Structure 1
Amino acid sequence: MSDSSAPAAADMPRPLTNPRLLIPLSLFALYIIWGSTYLGIRYALESYPPFLLAGVRFLIAGVLLFGFLRLRGITAPSARQWRNAAITGVLLLGFGNGMVCFAEQRVSSGIAAVAVASMPLFAALFSSLYGEHPTRREGLGLAIGFIGVVVLNLGNGLSASRLGAAALLLAAMCWAFGSVWSKRQDMPQGPMNTAAQMLCASVALIIVALLAGERLPAHPTERATLATGYLIVFGSIIAFSAYLYVLKHVRPALATSYAYVNPPVAVLFGLLLVGEHVGPYDLAGMAIILLGVGVITFARQRRHA
């Protein structure tokens, strides 16, 4: 006798692959882990030069993840997928992360996170080029978040380093365009997408580092090395995989909302761990930013209700 309940049970998503579980966990990783990586980059820069730091970070993470996936029998990307992963990886990790590392030589970790928070605005602009316009509520959330970034910036302006400010603006624009462009391309599947992008970006970053005359330090500090390890495991493999998963399963406004949460998280880590000053503008900006994220999240829930 056949079991009539078997097909229904087979159709139910397993806990480890259920989007209802993975989407909140992925967003938590983006909000907290990526918020902490700005401070991790600051520590790592005590010994490692910026582009070589980013290149070595993604090379090690990419090799480990790619090797693990191949051992599990995951198919390697096709030639077309490698090309698309290379373009996206250079935009997201080469320009995006590389420019943040470069800028953090000149600005604090919290300010770097604040400037990169402009990324969802660029993402909305680039999405409009493809006919995907934000809803009114999502637009309201983006506007509130931008106001929060402005208020937060009033307490810790970027005027001290125009070069750092320009690098952070370029990072936000490249990350936004790479995120929007990749959604419409034939990309590697699942974690293999993460591995391929990191491998491709690492090559570009290491070439830039060598052209800039960067070299690995002979005697790096223990804190810088531990920070680099944290960036490799948590910032690269775990959080970047979470970002690509969220980017595939939710609307861009929610996928990029981490950029509004990262600034207050980065500022709080700076306050608690290295004693960075937090003034009234910082606290007001954090509150407004979180309000913007709430509006975006509520708009998405209403849209899919």
Structure 2
Amino acid sequence: MSQKTAAPRWLVLVAFANIYIVWGSTYLAIVFGLDGIPPFILSFLRFLSAGIILFGWCLLKKESFPAWKNLGRNTICGTLMLVGGSGLVTWAEQFISSGSAAIIIATEPFWFILLDKKCWSTYLSHKLIIAGLLIGFLGVILFFVQSGNTASTSSGQLTAYLVLLGSSVLWVVGSLLSKSKTSKQDSTIMTTAEQLMAAGVVSLLISLLTQEWPGFSFAEVSLRAWGGLLFLIVMGSLVAYLSFIWLISVRPPALVSTHTYINPVVAVLLGGLFAAEKINLLQIGALLVILVGVLLTNIPGYKKQLLPSD
């Protein structure tokens, strides 16, 4: 506990602001980035740049090179979490608002419960967790029903919603896989750098396969798009992520995980303020139902980590 109380209060507040506001604002940054940059080219530039920066930082600290035995696992994890997760979010935001994307991604905690088979005995023994799952997916159904009943909703938008659900699943699968042990463990930052660079390469391959490069010109990219890309690289993939890693070491994970509730709210507010996105009351209601579900599924963990044991 000494480590958890030694951290400067101001630094803790700044780190929480990063994972609350910065991560929540990446959805809007993607909207800006798409103003002239196709989705997988945008992901390629974002991930590879951030990965190279982190890798260079590790070399400056004279860390050892990544273990070759970990290359395959980190490539798979980076592809699932970053390309399957963030990359598909970028693709989906061509068709839907950033706020809507954030609402669907808020379902990730439910997929952790459903897919983490090793912990099923613990999860399914708590009535609150089961209730949270049911309520959370009710919120998802409400969101889809009201979206499908809107006259302006296109088939592309509905497809984007479904892709985002798949994106959440891929992020969780990659996260669970990344927890597996290997014979030699690299540092967290080195592992992240390797995953980011792998995700950048995979995004490049996808951009080639989907014919994003023909007709694309860096000279025609707007200043707003460059600003969005720079924000995603520096603030989203570096500052916010490193803040998250540091907070986990100095504060209870239950407190750090509260960004799950804040990020979609920030995304909806910023999308409305700076991108003229419209979120109706039924969508807001669906978001609240989803967040209530997330809260219920996390209450047992909060009690365990935050309340003193007898």
Paired amino acid for 2:285: A
Q: How does 1:283-298 map to 2 (within 5 A)?
A: 283-298=284-299
Paired residue secondary structure (1:214): coil
Which one of the candidate residues 64, 75, 95 is aligned to 1:106?
95
8 Å CA contact 1:123–1:176 kept in 2: the answer is yes
Q: Distance in 1 between matches of 2:247 and 2:116?
A: 16
User: 2:3 is matched with which residue?
Assistant: 13
Shift of 1:190: 2.2
Give the whole-Å Cα distance in 2 for the aligned partners of 1:230 and 1:127.
32
Q: Which residue of 2 aligns with 1:300?
A: 301
Q: Does 1:265 align with 2:263?
A: no
Q: For residues 182-261 of structure 1, what are the structure 2 equivalents within 5 Å?
A: 182-186=178-182, 188-215=186-213, 216-217=216-217, 218-242=219-243, 258-261=259-262
**RCO comparison, higher one (Cα < 8 Å, 6+):** 2
Counterpart amino acid of residue 186 in structure 2: P
Q: Please state if 1:97 is matched with 2:86.
A: yes
The residue correspondences of 1:32-71 to structure 2 (distance < 5 A) are 32-71=21-60
In structure 2, list runs of 5 or more residues that go unmatched: none
Deviations 1:143-163 (A, max 9, x none): 444444444555545764243
User: What's the secondary structure of 2:220's corresponding residue?
Assistant: coil
Q: Which amino acid aligns with 1:209?
A: S
TM-superposed CA distance for 1:31, in Å, is: 3.4
Quote the Cα distance in structure 2 between the aligned partners of 1:52 and 1:175.
Answer: 20
Is the deviation greater in 188-197 or in 102-111? 188-197
Q: RMSD value over aligned CA atoms?
A: 3.3
CA contact (8 A) 2:19 2:243 kept: yes
Q: Does 1:174 align with 2:170?
A: yes
- SS of residue in 2 equivalent to 1:277: coil
Aligned to 1:5: none
**Secondary structure in 2 matching 1:13:** helix
Contact 2:113 2:120 survives alignment (8 Å)? no
Alignment partners' CA distance in 1, 2:91 and 2:220: 21
Q: CA deviation at 1:59?
A: 0.6
Q: Aligned pair count?
A: 293
- TM-superposed deviation, 1:29: 3.4
Match for residue 65 of structure 2 among 76, 79, 84: 76
Amino acid at match of 1:79: W
Identical-pair percentage: 32
Distance 2:175 2:265 in 1: 23
Partner of 2:279: 278
Question: Are the aligned partners of 2:51 and 2:197 in contact in 1 as well (CA < 8 Å)?
Answer: yes
Counterparts of 2:245 and 2:181, CA distance in 1: 13
Deviates more, 1:57-66 or 1:234-243: 234-243
* Bigger shift: residues 42-51 or 106-115: 106-115
Q: Deviations over 1:92-115 (max 9, x none)?
A: 011111111111111111111122
Please list every run of 5 or more consecutive structure 1 residues that lacks an aligned counterpart in the other structure: 1-10
1:302 deviates by 1.3
Q: 1:232 to 1:203 in 2, by over 3 A?
A: same
Shift of 1:256: 6.5
CA distance change for structure 1 residues 146 and 241 in 2, over 3 Å: closer, same or farther?
A: farther
1:97 aligned counterpart, secondary structure: helix
Instruction: Name the TM-score, length of structure 1 as normaliser.
Output: 0.81
**Kept in 2: contact 1:261–1:289 (CA 8 A):** no
Distance 1:283 1:95, change over 3 A: closer
Could you tell me whether the CA contact under 8 Å between 2:110 and 2:294 is conserved in 1?
A: no
Normalised TM-score (structure 2): 0.80
